[in-house]
Amino acid sequence: TKFLQLRYQFTNCYSLSLPLLPLKFRHFQSVIVLSFLFLSLFLQPLVKEVDREKTPLTDVQSPHHSSDLCYLSSHLIPKIAINLFTIPNTRRSISVFRFPSSLLRINSERLDVCVVSAIDLERILQVNREMSLLPKSDSIQIREVWDDNLEEEFTLIRGIVDDFPYIAMDTEFPGIVLRPVGNFKNSNDYHYQTLKDNVDMLKLIQLGLTFSDKQGNLPTCGTDKHCIWQFNFREFNVNDDVFANDSVELLRESGIDFKKNNEKGIDARRFGELLMSSGIVLNDNVYWVTFHSGYDFGYLLKVLTCKNLPDTQAGFFSLINMYFPTIYDIKHLMKFCNSLHGGLNKLAELLEVERVGVCHQAGSDSLLTSCTFRKLKENFFSGSLEKYAGVLYGLGVEN
């Protein structure tokens, strides 16, 4: 059975390291936590307090000859922890927070879970809400791009890319309709062949781009609102083209008007030409942020090259590295974060990032991707993300 380390957060900001059964054993947790409360009265004299002002969180060490005890300032918890659940049926409401493994080490042991008393809980949750990186919905303008304003919007994009070089991207397409048969060396080869077959046959419907700077600020483009872009393409036709019924129905329910796209949408070839000269591809100073984005980049490469995708993953990644030198796939980053799983919406919920706009529309999804990336980086990664770049989840070799 896998055990977690538990450190009870005392009202005086001391904490104790003890084993805790896996979270599924909920009926044991109340007894364990109440036992910690009782033991704390006797253990407090054994703990040496660390100066909360002079000692940074990442440098906290357990006192000499007392390797299981440490100091942790509770006001820092919302900056580095995710609220997992609240234990019911206790005299005092207890909440459990999970900490990223990279932020705090005590004698090489990872601080995994922290229990916080109800005294601090509401203040902690309020700070978490205030820390949200996502702008309010009334401060966001989703700039709809059609054939008649395509060049005008690319002029704006060329003017902001140097100051806002982080580009979160999402696409909408007609689903997955083909599954290859045959023998494959590994699952990644199978996934790539599936991607290639579908991207080669199907057509891009919508592309969302959200630009931000290193701090997560969004451009305003001379307006009083933060701007994100949603490009609508004309090529896909529900009457003539192959598609997955559930995918197209979901897009229709999300508000995509396929008839309007056919009449007013962007010509993909013209878009590719403007994209090539925009400064956002073939640029080492631009950082692409995505979520499980093999198909997203597949469709962009198809638009940029006006060709089918390469026959091999090696050829595919050669083009990726040329057009998009730095890529961060959030789904890949999640592998290095404790207990994070699921899709973009689930991750955003765990990180308390709220959506602006309609789910399954590319502009809104790209904004959610951008803000979720910032919150993930802030909570789980200290320093550079360079070593995680260039990997697309489910493809290639994931180190």
Q: What is the model's pLDDT at position 359?
A: 84
pLDDT in tens, 123-156: 444 444 444 445 666 789 999 999 999 999 999 9
The span from the CA of 312 to the CA of 314, in Å, is 5
Give residue limits of the domains in the chain: 4-130, 137-388
Q: Judging by DSSP bridges, how do beta strands 94-98 and 113-117 pair with one another?
A: antiparallel
Q: CB–CB of 227/135 below 8 Å?
A: no
CA-CA-CA-CA dihedral for 89, 76, 389, 184, to nearest 10 = -10
Q: How far lies 80's CA from each of 48, 76, 125, 257, 378, in Å? A: 23, 7, 12, 41, 8
The span from the CA of 59 to the CA of 211, in Å, is 34
Instruction: Give residue for tokens 């700039």.
Output: 143
HSE, side-chain direction, 13 A CA sphere, residue 172: 32
DSSP assignment of 138-186: GGEEEEEE-GGGHHHHHHHHHHHTTT--EEEEEEE---------S--SS
* Residue ranges of the chain with per-residue pLDDT less than 50: 1-21, 23-24, 26, 43-76, 78-80, 84-95, 98-133, 398-399
Query: In degrees, to the nearest 5, what angle opens at C-alpha 163 toward C-alphas 158 and 167?
Result: 75
The span from the CA of 230 to the CA of 362, in Å, is 6
Q: What are phi and psi of 106, to 5 degrees?
A: -125, 110
Q: CB–CB of 131/81 below 8 Å?
A: no
In sequence order, the β-bridge partners of residue 19 are 5
Options 3.40.50.10860, 3.30.420.10, 3.30.540.10, 3.10.450.50; CATH for 137-388 is 3.30.420.10
Where helices occur in 212-312 by DSSP H, the ranges are 245-253, 258-264, 268-276, 294-305
pLDDT in tens, 318-364: 999 999 999 999 999 999 987 788 999 999 998 989 898 888 799 99
HSE, side-chain direction, 13 A CA sphere, residue 281: 22
